[in-house]
Amino acid sequence: MLDNNIQFSPEALNLVNKYIAKFPEGKQKSAVIAVLHLAQAELGGWLKPEIMDYVASLLNIKPIEVYEVATFYSQYYMKPVGKYVIEVCHTGPCWLRGADELIAYFENKLGIKKGQTTPDGMFTLKGVECLAACGTAPVFQCGMDYYENMDNEKVDFFLDKCRQENKVSRPYPVMN
């Protein structure tokens, strides 16, 4: 079910080839994880089936092989989400230092609950597991960046910055 409107930019395709080149010939399937990240970043922020089918065709693997991977890992979004997905760590060490309060502050500011997206499609608030930043708790991740030692003032600043930038923000491997 290939959709001809779904297509990486030439720069992105170039990156895909670089991801594939990291693996021996015939092992291009290994690149699927990076390519899916890139697809989220470039093709609308979440993995609709047509995008996964496109990724399968690029890597010459079966669509089900892509679905299996995409649904396993928590960084892939299988449903539409906001341009900015705010992933607040809610695991023990962060909880000890105010993760619940941080989440409550976001909920209050955005008028949504954990797991929801703002009606304007700007923000999704998500609780995630330990981000390996417990020493600078509470923390959240958004796109490529980590936001550490968070407090309300920094959250306000962050939200304003996003509203100004206003673009889909997803992490992917950058290469020269």
Partner 1 sequence: MGIKILTKDIDVPGIQNFQVYRSYGGYNSVEKALRMTPDEVVEEVKKSGLRGRGGAGFPTGMKWSFIDKKSGKPRHLVCNADESEPGTFKDRYLMSKNPHILIEGMITSSFALGANLSYIYVRGELMYVVNILQRAIDEAYANGFLGKNILGSGYDLELHVTCGAGAYICGEETALIESLEGKRGNPRIKPPFPAISGVWSNPTVVNNVESIAAVPYIVNNGGEEYAKIGIGKSTGTKLISASGHINKPGVYEIEMGVTVEEFIYSEEYCGGIWKGRKLKAVVAGGSSVPILPANLILKLANGEPRLMSYESLSDGGFATGTMLGSGGFIVFDETASIVHNLWNFERFYHHESCGQCSPCREGTGWVEKILHKFLDGHATMEDIDLVADVAKKIEGNTICPLGDAAAWPVASAIKHFRPEFEWYVTNPEEACKPGAYYTGDKLVLA
Partner 2 sequence: MDLLKVTIDGIEIEVPAGTTILEAARKIGKNVPPAMCYYSKLEGSGGKCRTCIVKVSQGSTKDPRPMPKPVASCRTQVMDGMVVLNETSPEIMEARASVVEFLLINHPLDCPICDQAGECHLQDLGYAHGKQKTRYEFKRRTFDKIDIGPYVQLHMTRCILCYRCVFTCDQITNDRVHGVLNRGDSAEISTYIEKSIENDFSGNVIDVCPVGALTDKTFRFKNRVWFTKPVNAHRNCTTDKCSGKVQLWYKGNEVIRVTARKDQWGEVEEFICNTCRFEKKETTDWVIEGPAKVDNKSVIGQNHYELSYDKPVVPPKISLFADHPSFKDDSKFIN
**Stretches 7-15, 93-101, 107-115, 117-125: which one binds partner 1 (CB under 8 A)?**
93-101
In the complex, the smallest distance separating the C-beta of residue 78 from partner 1, rounded to whole angstroms, is 12
- Decide whether 1 or 132 has the Cβ nearer to partner 1: 132
Q: How near is the Cβ of 1 to partner 2 at its closest, in Å?
A: 8
> What is the smallest separation between the CB atom of 127 and ligand FES, expressed in angstroms?
10
Distance of CA 56 to CAs 4, 32, 102, 149, Å? 14, 8, 39, 40
143: Cβ–Cβ under 8 A, 6 or more apart, which residues? 84, 169, 170, 171
**Residue 93 touches partner 2, criterion: CB under 8 A:** no
Within positions 17 to 46, which residues make up the interface with partner 1, using CB under 8 A? 22-24, 27, 29-34, 36-37
- In the complex, minimum distance from the CB of residue 125 to ligand FES, in angstroms, rounded to a whole number: 16
By CB under 6 A, name the binding residues for ligand FES.
Answer: 89, 91-94, 130-134, 137, 139
Positions touching partner 1 (CB under 8 A) are 22-24, 27, 29-34, 36-37, 59, 61, 65, 68-69, 72-76, 87, 90-93, 95-97, 128-137, 141, 144-146, 171-176
Positions touching partner 2 (CB under 8 A) are 1, 49, 62-65, 67-68, 71-72, 74
